[in-house]
Structure 1
Amino acid sequence: MSDPAPVHPARALWRLFEPVYAVTFLQPESRAAFEAAGLDGGWRGYFAGRSAPLGAVDAPPVIAAFFSFAPATVERALPQVWTHASPERVLTARTEGSSAALARLLAAVEPGRIEAAADALEGAVDRLDCAGRVLAAANAALPRPADVHGRLWQAAAVLREHRGDGHVAALVAAGLDGCEAPVLHCALDADREVLQPMRGWTDEEWEAAAARLVERGWLTARGAVTELGRSRHRSVEAATDLAAGRAWEGLPDGELDRLTAALRPIAAICRERMPVNPLAMPLVSPLSVPPVEPVAVPPVSPPAMAPADPRNQR
């Protein structure tokens, strides 16, 4: 039996910061903050929260950037949400809600470890090249929160959107459209009954996308993924990892291990409380994202930090 292929460092770290990011949509503190801002209903908070760094945008740029949501689903929220709350108010709500959620979830985590994780993720944000990554660039340009839980969440959000922007580029380069991508995902390891309504595609749109993938040789007539489809999917994931990897290049010896050790128990707690994120993706994917078990690691003392350079608060 051959050894499993090594996991790209960018993918391994994504598995750890994605659960931190996801608190902004499912935890009660986050929902309450969005509702207090006038955004009742989960989808209003979702579309406003993710798009607010771009300003009071209309639906078309968000349809393009979020990629795999049906246009009609986005149009039900945007631009109407901005009549209830300005982008600035939404940004305040998402930061306050996410910070409060993490403060509760991570109450038992040694504070120095949270500080170290926030410092390390912010360092990764400072190294990012956001060219061609609009959502990442917009999030990186926001001021950093003052509290450690807000800092941890915002850094995770920037890194998550950076990877997501690269993933969308890889999907487009592979010739997939916004409906074909989730159809292929369901053929691989996702649940159509969950994912299709969450993305808002009609049965007619879904079946038409599946037919296009069959014609291309990626799916069989019964909807099963072919070897060609698997190969193309692996290429997309490899391109995504490669595009996300530059943030983690050139780290000092041992820094990656220290970051992983600081994030692992944090991610495990968040994942335990949220097995499914708002994009209808398991935070522990059956095929590609094995669970991360909490481990006992020695307390990590945060390094002394110089005052923040405004040029780095991208």
Structure 2
Amino acid sequence: MHPFTYERATGVSDAVRRASAGAGDVAYLAGGTNLLDHLRLGVRAVDRVVDVSHLDLAAVTELPDGGISLGAMARNSDVAAHPLVRERFPLVSAAMLAGASGQLRNMATIGGNLLQRTRCVYFQDTTTPCNKREPGTGCSAVEGYGTYNALLGASERCVAVHPSDLCVALAALDTTVVVEGADGPRRLDFADLHRLPGEHPERDTTLDPGDLITAVELHGPAFARHARYRKLRERASYAFATVSVAAALEVTDGLVSGVRLGLGGVAHAPHRAHRAEQLLLGGPATHEAFTAAVDAELEPARTGPGNAYKVTQLRRVVPAVLAELAGAGAAGAR
């Protein structure tokens, strides 16, 4: 392991000051479930670690508009079990419970979940080329093991998919990320946080060095209470999704009056299915319409011999989840 110095921040501004000062690579330590693995494996080497795990950023509070603020240091297990989250944003609770294992959820934090590295099997194998780990060395997954490769938004430099379950749910909601930086606090739309690989796959987010996520705010839509999260994976727990879907649906007189779709296992960044949503809105809430919307969303998908199965999975699971929501909505209306 590369030697590093350890610093314990006394507050948010102190953490940012410490992370922004001096030379070398600096990492924040919160739950550590991603960072510590990579330090031990030699995947990442840092010069300084700034501990923020004890900062007073773990509160889950109600916002004036009926939304919820999640402190960046709130533990995944606590957020998933929180009554406000379960009632108003069941997508978030379900997605978090589908991720990792109980032990990891007890340690992992909200802010850390948003910042976990987008990666494939080659990223953690330091004997293989990886542009994300070592820029300019090549992408082993392009011609290698491609079962988990992205369908959308990839580049010739990286074809990995974003691993977070929580972020799939957040992509489907109205989510704001609160960030403290060297110039003070600012707010980002969740869609602007992560970036596609392009020419620089080593950069997962749009954050500046030293930026610290302090909270995640969940807002509407109002029909977000009527939602499902469905994850397909190779084993029942502790596995990344082959594909996943976060869906919220509102049906009025047999027509789709509101819809949100987030897809996981398909892209380098959490994917909001805007094309499918636009096609569905105002149309019939039927299985045929749901399937046509998925096909439209996947029209620009690029598949290889190892990951073409993902298209089949999405064509089955997304319409099934939407049909389930439409049926439940009709039953509730009666």
- The structure with the largest strand share of the pair is 2
TM-score (norm 2): 0.27
Q: With CA pairs under 8 Å and 6+ residues apart, which has the higher RCO, 1 or 2?
A: 1
TM-score (norm 1): 0.28
